[in-house]
Structure 1
Amino acid sequence: MNFQNRKQLIVQTVEERGSVDVRELADLLQTSDMTVRRDLVQLAAQGLVYRTRGGAMKVSAATDAFRFENKAAVNADQKDYICQLAAQTIQEGDILFMDCGSTVFRLCPFIRNRRITVITNSLPVVAELINSSVSVNLVGGEVDKDRQAVHGLMAEEHIARYRANRAFIGVDGISLRKGLTANSEREASTAVAMARQAETTYLLCHSAKLETEKYLYFAPLTLFDILITDNEARPDVVDAYRQAGVTVMN
C-alpha cells in the first residue's frame, strides 16, 4: 500500500475513533510500526492529525485533548446501554467504587435515587451525585485538572481503607492476548486499587475497545469478574471472551 492510500486510511481511522495508537494502525495497514510512525510525522506536519505519545488523535480534539466532558459524550447511547445493565446489578445499601472513566460516569443518572454509598476519585461523579439519595465519599489526593479526577499514592491509600460490594471501572484497551491496557499509569493504578477492595468488579467497556491494546499493560483479565459491553459488540468477539472464561453481559 503506497503512502497516499495509507494516508487516507489513517486520517479516516483517526477521525472515526478520535484517537488511535501505532500498533492498531500497523495491524490495520498491514505494515510495520516504523512505517506508521513515519507516516504520522508527515501527516502531523501537514496538520491532518495530532501526534500523541504512541499514536495520534484528531486535530479538533487536540486543543482540548482529554477534557472529560468530551470523552463522556462520545458513543453516549452505547455507554448508557452499558450503564443500564450495570445499574441492574446494584442493590439498596450497596457500597460502590466508581473510577473516573467516562463510561462509569454515565452510570450516575441510573443510580441517583438509590440509597447506596459511592466511593470515587471522579469529580464529575461527585458533582452529579452530591444532591441525590447517594452518599458520596471522595477519594483524597492530587487532582488531575484535565481528567477531573484524583490520583496518586494518597488516593490509593484512601481506597485501601474501604471495602465495597462492587467496583465499576473503565479501561482504554482489552484483549485476550494482552489483558487490560491503558493510556495512563495513574488511572490504571486507581482501577487496580478499587478492584482489590471490591467483592465483585465490573469492567464497563465500549465494544470498540474489545481486542484493542494500548501502550501500558497493567492487569490480566482476572482483575475483573464481569465484563459489561454494549449490544453492538461483534458476536464472535463476545463468544471468544466467554470461551476464555470471561463472564460477559451485553
Structure 2
Amino acid sequence: MNFQQRKQLILQTVDERGAVEVPELAELLQTSAMTVRRDLVQLAAAGLIYRTHGGAMRVRDAMVVPFANKSAMNVAHKEAIAQRAAQEIQDGDVIFMDCGSTVAHLCPFIRHKRITVITNSLPVISELLNSSVTLNLIGGEVDKERQAVHGSMAGEHIARYHADRAFIGVDGISLANGLSANGEQEAQLTLALARQASRVYLLCDSSKLETDKYLFFAPLSLIDVLITDDQVSANLADAYRQAGVNLIY
C-alpha cells in the first residue's frame, strides 16, 4: 500500500472515529508503527489531522479545548510554575496575562501585589476582582468555551498599552518548530501581548515540551524566560538552554 492509499484510509478512519491510536492504524494498514507515525507527521503538517501523543484526531475536535478542562489538568505542576513566576513580579509592575490555564494559576500568588494586570481572561478578572490588583480587561468578542476575549478589537486594545512583563501560555513548544497553538485566535493574541511587553515569560508544564500543535506561530526567540515544572529531564532542559532559552524549573 503506497502513501496515497494509506493517507485516504487514515483520513477516513480518523473522520469516522474522531481519534485513533498508532497501533490501531498499523494493524489496519498492515504496516509498521514507524511508517504510521511518519504518515501522521505529513498529514498533520498539511493540516489534515491533529497529531496527538499516541495517534491522531480530527482537526475540528482539537480546535477548542474548554478552559475548565485545561485548568483541571496537571494542577500541582501549574501551581508550582505560577508560584515561581509570581516571584518575578514587583509592586508597581504592569503585566499582561493571557487566557492560558497555567497563567490563571498566578492569581492567588499576586492578589496582594500593587500591580496592574491587563488580561483577556475572564477567570483572571473574577479571581482578582476583590484584590490589591488594578484590572484592565481587554475588549472584544467573548469566547464562551475559552472564557476569554479575542478578535481584532482585542488586538487594537493591547496595542495601546505597554507592560513590564507578559505571562503567556502555549499549546505546544518544540526545539525544531518553536511555539504552536490549537487555533489562530490564541496565537494572534499571544503575539500581540509579546510585542507590547519588555519581557515575555512562557508558563508551560513539561508535558507540552517537544509537542507540536496545529499552528506554528512563533520561534523560540519570542520568549525571554520559560518557566516549567521539575519533571523536565536535565538533558532536555540543557537542550533548550543551548537554543538560547532562559529555562527555569
Q: State TM-score, norm by structure 2.
A: 0.79
Identity %: 57
Per the alignment, do residues 115 and 36 of structure 1 end up closer, same or farther by CA in structure 2, a change over 3 Å counting?
Answer: same
Q: CA RMSD in A?
A: 2.8
Displacement of 1:67: 2.1
2:188, 2:201 → 1: CA distance?
16
Which of 36, 39, 45 does residue 32 from structure 1 map onto? 39
2:141, 2:206 → 1: CA distance?
31
Displacement of 1:52: 2.8
1:186, 1:211 → 2: CA distance?
22
Secondary structure of the residue that 1:32 maps to in structure 2?
helix
Q: Runs of 5+ in structure 1 lacking a partner?
A: 10-25, 42-48
1:4, 1:87 → 2: CA distance?
39
Per the alignment, do residues 136 and 231 of structure 1 end up closer, same or farther by CA in structure 2, a change over 3 Å counting?
Answer: same
Secondary structure of the residue that 1:177 maps to in structure 2?
coil
Name the aligned partner's letter for residue 53 of structure 1.
V
Secondary structure of the residue that 1:118 maps to in structure 2?
strand
The 5 Å alignment of 1:51-130 reads 51-53=57-59, 66-130=65-129
Displacement of 1:69: 1.6
State the partner residue of 2:14.
none
Displacement of 1:33: 1.6
Per the alignment, do residues 35 and 179 of structure 1 end up closer, same or farther by CA in structure 2, a change over 3 Å counting?
Answer: closer
Name the aligned partner's letter for residue 120 of structure 2.
N
State the partner residue of 2:23.
6
Per the alignment, do residues 76 and 7 of structure 1 end up closer, same or farther by CA in structure 2, a change over 3 Å counting?
Answer: same
Displacement of 1:142: 0.7
State the partner residue of 1:219.
218
Secondary structure of the residue that 1:100 maps to in structure 2?
coil
State the partner residue of 2:245.
246
1:86, 1:160 → 2: CA distance?
24
State the partner residue of 1:15.
none
Q: Runs of 5+ in structure 2 lacking a partner?
A: 1-19, 27-32, 50-54
CA offset digits 1:156-208 (Å, max 9, x no partner): 00000000110000001111110111101000111110011011000001101
State the partner residue of 2:194.
195
1:102, 1:248 → 2: CA distance?
20
Per the alignment, do residues 34 and 94 of structure 1 end up closer, same or farther by CA in structure 2, a change over 3 Å counting?
Answer: closer
Name the aligned partner's letter for residue 96 of structure 2.
F
State the partner residue of 1:134.
133
1:27, 1:186 → 2: CA distance?
33
Secondary structure of the residue that 1:242 maps to in structure 2?
helix
Displacement of 1:228: 0.5
Displacement of 1:234: 1.4
Displacement of 1:119: 0.1
Mapped contact 2:25–2:36 kept (Cα < 8 A): no
CA offset digits 1:113-133 (Å, max 9, x no partner): 111100000001000001111
State the partner residue of 1:229.
228
1:27, 1:70 → 2: CA distance?
31
State the partner residue of 1:18.
none
Displacement of 1:89: 0.4
1:233, 1:96 → 2: CA distance?
27
1:177, 1:157 → 2: CA distance?
31
Name the aligned partner's letter for residue 32 of structure 1.
D
Displacement of 1:70: 1.8
Name the aligned partner's letter for residue 6 of structure 1.
P
Per the alignment, do residues 178 and 27 of structure 1 end up closer, same or farther by CA in structure 2, a change over 3 Å counting?
Answer: farther
Give the number of the structure whose alpha-carbon radius of gyration is greater. 2
Name the aligned partner's letter for residue 75 of structure 1.
N
